[in-house]
Every structure is written in C-alpha cells, then in structure tokens.
Amino acid sequence: MRLLVTGGAGMLGQAVAAVATRLGHDVIALSRAELDITDFDHVRRVVTAAEPRAVVNCAAWTDVDGAETAEATAMAVNATGAGHVARAAAVSGVRLVHMSTDYVFDGHKRSPWVESDPVAPVGAYGRSKLAGEHEVAAASQDYAIVRTAWLFGAGGRNFVDTILVLGRERDEVDVVTDQIGSPTWSAHLAEAVVEIAERRRDVGVFHAAGGGACSWYELAVEVLHRAGVRCRVLPTTSERISRMALRPAYSVLGTERDEAPVLPAWQDGVAGYLAEKAVMAG
C-alpha cells in the first residue's frame, strides 16, 4: 500500500518509513520543510496528490519544557495541525494513524494506564497532544490514535543518547527515581504503527509502548551497563532537578484492547538500539 508519513525527518517518522519500505509498501515521507501541517490548504493538496491508502502523522512539537512558555505554538502543531491532517485524510477517504503520548495522563495511578482511563494532562505539552486527539476523533471515522511513551532511537534527541554522552564525560550522573514509565525503541514502535495502518477496521485509541516498566534511573543503569560505560548512576528526585514542565510520576502504558500490538520488553529495545548504534559507528 502507499503510505504517507508526516514528520518524516523525525525519529519516529524515519523509523516508520524504514519499516514500511522493508515490508514492501510504497512510502512517501515528508519533512516539516516539505509539509507544514499548520497549513491546511497545503496538507489537503499534498494528501490529495499523493493518493495514499493511509497517513501516519508523526509530525509534532515535542519540546516538553519549551511548550510551557510556547503553548500556543505547541497547540498550533499538536492540536490544530493534527486536525488539518485528519480532515485532509477524511476528505480523501484514507485511514489516519496519529501519534500521541503518555503525557495525557496525570501520573497519579499506580497500575498501567489503559485506553479508557480518564485523561488529565499536567503540562502544556500534554494538553496540546490531548487537544490533537480530540481534533482527530472529530474529523475522521477511520483513525487510530497511538499513545506511546519514553521514545528513544536514531534520528532525534533522546534520553539514551544523552546518558551515553554524560556517562562517557563524567564519573557520576544524577538520575531521578520517582518517574516511572515504559521506554520504547522507535524501531519496535514503528513495526506496530505500520501494522495498525494496515488494519482499516480497528478504530480508536491504542496504547503501544515497550513492555515492562522502570524509572529513568533504572533505564540509565541498564543503558550504561549494556554499553560497557563505567559511570556511577546516583539516584535523585524530580524535586531536586528543576525542570520547566511537570512530568507525570507514573505513566506506564498498558492496554485493554485485544487488537492492540504488543511490543517487546524495554530492555530488548535498549539492546536493539545499542546494537544499531554499533553497526552505524562501525
């Protein structure tokens, strides 16, 4: 099938394009410079001309801290822009897969969040992504909203790369223990996203994240251990590390839907990404 990927130059967009191409699909992956989703007329023209069978919207404002002081800009991309893509897909009668986030939840739960749990974002980024979910659901009848979490992979800034750099530069790093989530390798997520794009009858919200759960501290320990980097990881708390945006304390994603894709364990994602990095470096 022909698949149109917005945000095609980003981490997930690149991964989706690579997986879909490997599976034999005809892929059109467009960067922000090639397709600005805040311009509805442009989006509509591009989708109409491309004649895809499905659109995967990976375009997003992902600066969580920056959104606190630029919420209108985040909304323009994550909410209004998402609506533009959804309406253009609906006009062309094609399926839409839209990416969303664990940040739509407040983090107060202590068991994995499922699709029907009440949403209550604690920051501007989460509010903008939730508004995008509403735009998509209102505009399209053949859509899937895929919430994921703690994404890492090639082609974009992420925690795994950051901790590797710090670990090689320092003897010690401080990492929080009081935020728990589901680390997700972009390559694993991309497999699930393409699968969902292929299934026209599965509509609504899906959770897709790395299996299991850990803290940022535990993720850092795993990454440095697997990479063979000798650096001590010191536990700290969110209160001690000042960040502009509040993060949900517990954002582990589970699912209540039988048709939701099941991703490998987050540890497998770390191993896979480090192996990929080794090949690219060598």
Residues labelled catalytic: 125
Kindly report the length of the chain.
282
Distance separating alpha carbons of residues 30 and 46, to the nearest angstrom: 10
DSSP codes, 12-55: HHHHHHHHHHHTT-EEEEE-TTT--TT-HHHHHHHHHHH--SEE
Q: For tokens 């533009």, what's the residue?
A: 84
A 10 A CB-CB count for 117 gives 17
Beta strands in the chain (DSSP E): 2-6, 26-30, 54-57, 95-101, 143-148, 151-152, 172-176, 180-181, 184-185, 204-207, 214-215, 232-236
Distance separating alpha carbons of residues 185 and 104, to the nearest angstrom: 20
Exposed, middle or buried: residue 96 (CB in 10 Å: 0-12, 13-18, 19+)? buried
Tell me the two tokens of residue 139. Answer: 């505009």
